[in-house]
Amino acid sequence: MGRKSVAKERNLNPKKREKYGKMLMPIFQVNGLKRFTMDDLADELGVSKATLYHYFTSKEDIVGYVLKDILFRIRDFVPVLQNKELDYLERYFQALRIMSTNVVDVSNIFLKDLQEDHPKLWNLVDHFKNYAIEILKDFYDEGKSAGVFNNFSTDILALGDSLFFDALSNPEILASHNLTIGEAFEAYFKMKCFGLFANNEQSDIWKRVNKILGEPNL
């Protein structure tokens, strides 16, 4: 009975879990996960360990909460990509922007520690990446069937996006090429659109891309 009561109490205040998760997220991104015990995390939050255990069962529970929050935010790209009220160019741009904005919040040290110390949670990352790739493949297949996209390999198109988001989460790669996140995103979006869209009037695509990005026409 006692264990059930504690579990019930932990679920009574999801706003507290959200508050503590959001406070710890930037700390994990900068410092990784290895160095922290539950005592350390309680100190970071300015609460007692007993209070922390009131809302989370373990460090794994905390890390899982933070990870799932990141994945849920990235997942917002799905309804946008599937929104047929928007044209293909707008859907693709908005979906890439959502994914890019949230992927760049994930640091290398966070991912490294997650993979090494929390293999069950790392499986969530793998499953999510596979899910995202399948969603992108469906989008590319749909666009090719509609005659909007060139008839490139769907697997290659999706793989290119996957590699790009991996690169965005690595600040060393951006620094080595003297690129900001915004510059990398815009360059990739332009490059992908020119190869992806089956439009003989490249100047039209160029104008559309620059209009979406808020740049002057070139």
118-132 pLDDT, tens digit each: 999 999 988 998 898
Which of the four pLDDT bands, split at 50, 70 and 90, describes residue 206?
low
How far, in Å, CA of 69 to CA of 212, rounded? 28
The pLDDT, as a whole number, for residue 143 is 93
Side-chain-side CA neighbours of 38 within 13 Å: the count stands at 15
| 132 CB neighbour count, 10 Å cutoff | 22
How far, in Å, CA of 102 to CA of 169, rounded? 9
The pLDDT, as a whole number, for residue 53 is 93
Say whether pLDDT at 107 is over 60: yes
The pLDDT, as a whole number, for residue 199 is 66
CA dihedral sign of residues 110, 9, 72, 47:
negative
Mean pLDDT of 156-173: 81
The whole-model pTM stands at: 0.78
Say whether pLDDT at 144 is over 80: yes
Query: In the structure encoding, which two tokens stand for residue 184, read together?
Result: 């990398």
Mean pLDDT of 81-101: 88
3-state helix, strand, coil in the chain (%, to 5): 75, 0, 25
**Location of structure tokens 């069950």:** 120
Instruction: Output 70-79 pairs: Cβ under 8 A, ≥24 positions apart.
Output: 70/25, 70/102, 70/105, 70/106, 71/124, 71/125, 71/128, 73/102, 74/98, 74/99, 74/102, 74/103, 74/128, 74/132, 75/128, 76/102, 77/132, 77/135, 78/135
Q: Give the residue with greater pLDDT, 86 vs 104.
A: 86
Say whether pLDDT at 216 is over 60: no
The CATH class that applies to domain 75-213 reads mainly alpha
Residue extents of the structural domains in the chain: 2-65, 75-213
Which of the four pLDDT bands, split at 50, 70 and 90, describes residue 12?
low
Second CATH level (architecture) for the domain 2-65: Orthogonal Bundle (1.10)
Say whether pLDDT at 44 is over 60: yes
The overall average pLDDT reported for the chain is: 84
